[in-house]
Structure 1
Amino acid sequence: MPETEVKATISKSTGLPRKRFYRARAHSNPLSDSHFPVPISPSQFDYSLHYPQIFTSTDQVDGSRKVQFADIGCGFGGLLISLSTLFPETLMIGMELRDKVTEYVKERILSLRVTNPGQYQNVSVVRTNSMKYIPNYFEKAQLTKMFFLFPDPHFKEKNHRRRVISPFLLDEYAYVLKPALTEKELEADPVVKLLSSATEEGQKVARNGGQTFQAVFRRIVPSDQTS
């Protein structure tokens, strides 16, 4: 992109990318084939590419510094940005299928890193199909939180297979999640308060006087298992 075009897409007042240059369709077909790189396994995920101030290409990623939060279908990244400063020591990533929206989030994060030195180094975004490739990014019990905010409900029965929440996919999500929180931990979790207000979709619902309904799912471990 020519330098003049790059400057045009960045707001002079905020230093952030202008969303109108990254508009895309509200939804994408998760069953269609898209062409983007996908790691063969979680060990092949390049942390230095996403978190360059934390990792170098020669770093060995240990268990304490792996991604712990994943926002599935992160949209324009509102929740990620809010969580980044709330949990500055936690690595988190947004996963988005739409290419223009993913590019916007990338530019938004880069701009925030420039204007806020030392901050937003723990957050990133990747263009991918979460319904197909979750096991390629995360190991068993790696994540402490997964977010699915305002997903397309696909009301028509013929489109139920496009739902990001389904009995089949819940098995995969459970695999990459750590065991359940206690009730006390859940009540004290500051993230719950952000679920309806941090995202662009949530803000739109609020402006229109609508309602949001939250559901928090926790991975339950059988009594004869420890992980």
Structure 2
Amino acid sequence: MAGPPKKRQKRDEKEEGQMPQKKFYRQRAHANPFSDHDLTYPECPAAMDWAERFPAYAATTPAGIRQDNLIAKEDLVKYGHPKLTQQVEFADIGCGYGGLLFALAPKLPQTMILGLEIRTSVTDFVQEKAKALRVQHASEGLYQNVSCIRANTMKFLPNFFNKAQLSKIFLCFPDPHFKTRKHKARIVSTTLNSEYAFVLKPGGMVYTITDVEDLHMWMAGHFDAHPSFERVLEAELADDECVEVMQTETEEGKKVERNGGQKHVAVFRRLADPPWP
């Protein structure tokens, strides 16, 4: 007697443009970032086939690439796959099911936004949802600027992004890793903050939010202590739509709201590097 349909089978049954059902993409909430997750990652940012994730931005010839994007022109010849007419600017690290991504995409249609998620099924869900939304909004040209890749950013962030490429990084409700011996797995640390500084352009922002006060203090303390960052005052964030979206559109943010919990927000600006002596 045949058993119930497998999740993969149920996923594949949907039609083009049909939204994926989250119940077929469920996966445990946490993944060990130090484990071998059998990941595929590029040797350098230029080796990444971004056109597969953002086909609407693909430029198959150097003539189609902006004049100021000279690196992309050289890499098109070297690596042989299409490059993009512009680069990814926003990165949502640990994007989960993509609530932030899909809320920001139509608000900032000219900005390329990428989610990075370590869990396989969750990454599949975000990728399928992006494809479905592109089909549903084809006449408007929306959601072409959003995608997701499976990645362990604690290990491979510089493999995906060039120096000073990003203007915003989001760290939304990361795993608290409550036990002291697990703190080394937190997504904010002295070492990781240096990597965030590497991929952020001067003036770029790191947005953090959590409902765990201890983790909030940990993240704020590490960024405050890092010479490449300064705290952004609350008065400057009053009109920042990214802060509002981060609090209201993520799955965890909605859950905290339902449960009457607190959301702790802190934003940090990337400082310009001092001149070499």
Where in structure 2 are the equivalents of 1:192-203 lying within 5 Å?
Answer: 192-203=243-254
Q: Deviations over 1:170-222 (max 9, x none)?
A: 00001111112687875432111111111111001101111100010111124
- Asked whether the equivalents of residues 9 and 17 of structure 1 are also in contact (C-alpha less than 8 Å), the reply is yes
Equivalent position to 2:39, from 19, 36, 41: 36
The 1:58–1:48 alpha-carbon spacing in structure 2 relative to 1, beyond 3 Å, is farther
Greater RCO between the two (CA within 8 Å, min separation 6)? 1
Identify which range, 139-148 or 46-55, moves more after superposition. Answer: 46-55
For 1:81 and 1:219, how far apart are their aligned partners in 2? 25
Where in structure 2 are the equivalents of 1:55-74 lying within 5 Å?
Answer: 55-58=58-61, 62=66, 63=69, 65-74=86-95
> Which 4+ stretches in 1 moved above 3 angstroms?
1-4, 6-10, 56-64, 181-188, 222-225
Larger Rg: 2
Report SS of the residue matched to 1:27: coil
Task: Please provide the CA RMSD for this pair.
Answer: 2.6
Equivalent position to 2:10, from 5, 24, 48: 5
Report SS of the residue matched to 1:134: helix
Partner of 1:20: 23
For 2:237 and 2:55, how far apart are their aligned partners in 1? 32
Where in structure 2 are the equivalents of 1:1-227 lying within 5 Å?
Answer: 5-6=10-11, 15-58=18-61, 62=66, 63=69, 65-117=86-138, 118-180=141-203, 186-224=237-275
- Asked whether the equivalents of residues 7 and 24 of structure 2 are also in contact (C-alpha less than 8 Å), the reply is no
* AA of the residue aligned to 1:163: R
The unaligned stretches of length 5 or more in structure 2 are 1-5, 70-84, 205-231
* AA of the residue aligned to 1:100: S
Normalising by structure 1, report the TM-score.
Answer: 0.89
For 1:123 and 1:185, how far apart are their aligned partners in 2? 26
Q: Deviations over 1:148-175 (max 9, x none)?
A: 0000111211111111101110000011
- Identity among equivalent positions (%) equals 45
Q: What is the number of equivalent residue pairs in this alignment?
A: 223
Report SS of the residue matched to 1:67: coil
* AA of the residue aligned to 2:86: R
Normalising by structure 2, report the TM-score.
Answer: 0.74
Q: Deviations over 1:97-150 (max 9, x none)?
A: 000000000111111011111110011100010100110011111000000000
For 2:131 and 2:193, how far apart are their aligned partners in 1? 33
- Asked whether the equivalents of residues 9 and 18 of structure 1 are also in contact (C-alpha less than 8 Å), the reply is no
- Asked whether the equivalents of residues 113 and 119 of structure 1 are also in contact (C-alpha less than 8 Å), the reply is yes
For 1:187 and 1:97, how far apart are their aligned partners in 2? 32
TM-aligned CA deviation for residue 7 of structure 1 = 6.1
- Asked whether the equivalents of residues 11 and 24 of structure 2 are also in contact (C-alpha less than 8 Å), the reply is no
The unaligned stretches of length 5 or more in structure 1 are none
TM-aligned CA deviation for residue 33 of structure 1 = 0.8
